[in-house]
Chains A and B, each alone.
Chain A
């Protein structure tokens, strides 16, 4: 890498010698966009919790695929009585089981957590578990 980054204009004269170029495979990706690692260190600066489901939708059941369904829906699970700790979720995401749940129930809750989105309670906490660490 250059010691000093330069503006593109100054940086790239047109090639004097023809350089080989490959467009590559249609399915491959050639651009990585850096996303904010907002919560990346939050796991280390803070302990956080994830409610299943979030309070705005308390009372709904969690289906096997993690979607929320009306309470009483067959084969779906009632929400967890207590929020899960980040560490427990981390273990579950790596194949473990959430505390106080059956295997299927844990799978459903984990699926719910994976579907969390910005603005939903638990999202920031989940995001902090997702960031590549290293």
Chain B
């Protein structure tokens, strides 16, 4: 079975768009992250339910005009979010 990615629940996050960057406070970890697109959008896409990488890519394509739908790049983005603990692999 493909790995599922689960994002921190929306009520555990405080999101403050700053300018091009978005500041996110994660209540569970006490950490602040400053992130550029597409990280906030990925968190948003995973907010409702955990998805595997392919389903996530499909959802991003549906929600946005996705310029570069490259699975390898999405994997790199997800790795970064997993590292912060904002996304969990299951």
Binding site for B on A (CB under 8 A): 1-2, 5-9, 11-12, 14-15, 18-27, 29-34
What does DSSP make chain B's interface, helix, strand, loop or mixed? mixed
**Chain B residues bordering chain A, tally (CB within 8 A):** 40
B77 at interface, CB cutoff 8 A: yes
Chain A residue numbers with a CB within 8 Å of B63 are 14-15, 18
Q: Given A22-B67, A31-B80, A31-B81: A2 and B35 within 8 A (CB)?
A: no
Distance A29 CA – B39 CA, assembled complex (angstroms): 10
Binding site for A on B (CB under 8 A): 10-11, 13-19, 31-39, 41, 43-44, 47, 60, 63-70, 72-77, 80-81, 84
Set A1, A7, A23: member contacting B68, Cβ < 8 A: A23
Chain A residue numbers with a CB within 8 Å of B14 are 5-8
Q: Given A5-B14, A9-B10: A30 and B68 within 8 A (CB)?
A: no
Chain B residue numbers with a CB within 8 Å of A24 are 38, 68, 73, 77
Chain B residue numbers with a CB within 8 Å of A5 are 14-16
